Amino acid sequence: MDIATLKNYFDQVVGLLSYDPESPILFNTGFFLWWFFVLMTFFVVVQKRNTARIIYLTLFSLYFYYKSSGFYFVLLIISTLVDYSAGIWMFNAKTKGMKRLFLMFSLVSNFGMLGYFKYTNFFISSINEFMADPLAFHNIFLPAGISFYTFQTLSYSIDVFRGELKPVRNILDFGFYVSFFPQLVAGPIVRAKDFIPQIRAPRILDKKAIGLAVALIASGLIKKAVISDYISVNFVDRIFDEPLLYTGVENLMGIYGYALQIYCDFSGYSDVAIGIALLMGFTLPWNFNYPYRATSITDFWRRWHISLSSWLRDYLYIPLGGNKKGRVRQYVNLLLTMLLGGLWHGASWKFVLWGGLHGAALAIEKLTGSFKAVTKNIPLRILGVLVTFHFVCLGWVYFRADSFEKAIEMLNQVVYSFNGGVFMDMVLAYREVFILFVVGYMLHFVPRKLDNGAKSLISNSPLVVQALILVAVIWLIIQTKSAGIVPYIYFQF
């Protein structure tokens, strides 16, 4: 083999291992499969040695984030140092005023970093609406998952300030908590009080835990790489890109399709993240609980993105006064919390509107007591599921559409140009898409006992059977794979 050939191989390897903005690391890519295989191969060597295990997984996690966002993995290190230091300083502070000062240091540092990278151009755009001489936009890269790990470290600082958590003295432990790769870029948002006690605890990984991990990884990959990606590329994106080219019934199916797509995409990521963490002996919180079975918007937010909704409740809604300062103030607090929750999802007024819709619905439910009424009556529960699902779908229109104008066009098509007669022609033209529609919604509404039974069957199967299941899932992903990479939707948040 000559030098030129060796150099060519070397360049290919370097290119593969380097950050590529067009090919970020994803759970459903071949690179991640081999990367994770290498990780687990050596993990079995260090898993019983606490410090070695922590350093090993932290380095792999930092590399994972480098493959997601390039040089911006430095932000993760800065965030770690800021909140680690703030926790120590708050605990050692002699006065309440000094303690508040150090908390302010954490808040300003984290929100400042998040604000610059995520909201600078949003604020410039909003200001330009009122200026004759508009300001120039900045070319700012949005690091993957910055909203997730910022909220994660903020919860640690606030818990230390409140006296609910003692600060982590070992920076290796804290760095591992912040950077742990399975949930780093799209959650779940993990609380320090739930995760840090696991870091140096004995690794307990029995056959049943491995089986559950396999079941979660398999189901998560199917949700994301088979159902979500396929219906997105082959149907949903086309409708949302040009709603006026399609009839109302096609637009309505596009809306239902996006509801399924975003659920399978996000819950699929969470399932894989929880499963991967479980393989390494760590337990992450559940992030979804059949959200489209919700009987009200209140119930929906107890089931959807649970780690975020509980974060907003504990660190925003309750500090604002919650329901302790009268009914009017409670409704204002709900609306404000959801408006800010909408803005967390994206730097655009459409996300603010989406949050406002949900905030208004939550306030109305509190005002009327409709949530309690629905839960006590079976016919009302069924009606509640239908109404809630369609209200959520209405919100998804603004969440997904490229602009307010596109959202209005889509809704106008549904209302004024429905043309239901083309339904069967549409189903035949997109039969594979609608097969996945049926499969996706059936899996979501399947009785809980059946779902748990399937997971239990897999977890109790021999390792050979579990391996064959994963091989079958990978084969299925390859068969349905689109031409380009389809990033997880929540990577942009």
Look at residue 226 and tell me if it is in a domain. Answer: yes
Does any domain span residue 5?
A: no
Is there a single domain that holds both residue 244 and residue 186?
no
Looking at the structure, tell me whether residues 94 and 63 fall in a common domain. Answer: yes
Residues 335 and 452 in one domain: yes
Task: Give the model's pLDDT for residue 1.
Answer: 56
Whether residue 218 sits in one domain with residue 152: no
pLDDT for res 44: 85
User: What does 348-414 look like in DSSP terms, one character per residue?
Assistant: SHHHHHHHHHHHHHHHHHHHHTHHHHHHT-HHHHHHHHHHHHHHHHHHHHHHHSSSHHHHHHHHHHH
Q: The tokens 């300083």 sit on which residue?
A: 89
pTM: 0.92
DSSP state of 483: S
Pull the structure tokens for residue 493: 């948040």
Considering the domain architecture, whether residues 101 and 232 belong to the same structural domain is answered as no
Within 8 A by CB and 6+ apart from 277, the residues are 180, 182, 183, 283, 284
In a domain, 396, yes or no: yes
Q: What is the distance between the alpha carbons of residues 395 and 258, in angstroms, rounded to a whole number?
A: 11
Does any domain span residue 3? no
Q: What is the pLDDT at residue 303?
A: 95
Are 211 and 358 contained in the same domain? yes
Is residue 1 a part of any domain in this protein?
no
Same domain, 114 and 153: yes
Of 199, 219, 242, the domain-final residue: 199
How far is residue 473 CA from its own chain's centroid?
A: 22
Of 199, 215, 233, which marks where a domain is finished?
199
Mark whether 358 is an active-site residue: no
Cα(286)–Cα(189) distance, rounded to whole angstroms? Answer: 10
Q: Would 398 be classed as within a structural domain? A: yes
pLDDT of residue 135: 78
Are 229 and 193 in the same domain? no
| One domain, residues 129 and 241 | no
Q: What is the dihedral of CA 191, 356, 249, 379, to 10 degrees?
A: 80
Mean pLDDT (10-residue bins), the chain, 493 residues: 68 74 79 88 88 93 90 91 95 92 94 91 84 80 88 94 93 95 87 93 79 88 90 94 95 97 93 93 93 94 94 92 85 93 90 94 84 68 92 96 94 93 93 93 87 79 79 76 66 64
pLDDT of residue 131: 78
Query: Are 152 and 23 part of one and the same domain?
Result: yes
Count: domains in the chain = 2
Instruction: Tell whether 124 and 220 lie within a shared domain.
Output: no
**CA separation for the pair 40, 207 (Å, rounded):** 16
| 268 SS3 class | helix
Q: Report yes or no on 2 lying in a domain.
A: no
Q: Are residues 215 and 97 in the same domain?
A: no
Q: What share of the chain is helix, strand, coil (3-state, %, to 5)?
A: 75, 0, 25
CA distance 325 to 131: 39
Give 10-61 as a DSSP string: HHHHHHHHS--TTS---TTSHHHHHHHHHHHHHHHHHTTSHHHHHHHHHHHH
Give the range of the structural domain holding residue 378, as residue numbers without chain letter: 207-492
Torsion region of 288: left, alpha or beta (phi above 0 gives left; psi -120 to 50 gives alpha): beta
Rounded CA-CA distance 318/164 in Å is 15
305, 345, 358, 444: the catalytic one is 345
DSSP letter string over 178-236? Answer: HH-GGGTTT-----HHHHHHHHTSPP---HHHHHHHHHHHHHHHIIIIIIIHHHIIIII
Task: Look at residues 165, 199, 233 and tell me which one is the last residue of a structural domain.
Answer: 199
Within a domain: residue 11? no
Structure tokens at 114: 């998040």
pLDDT at 10: 65
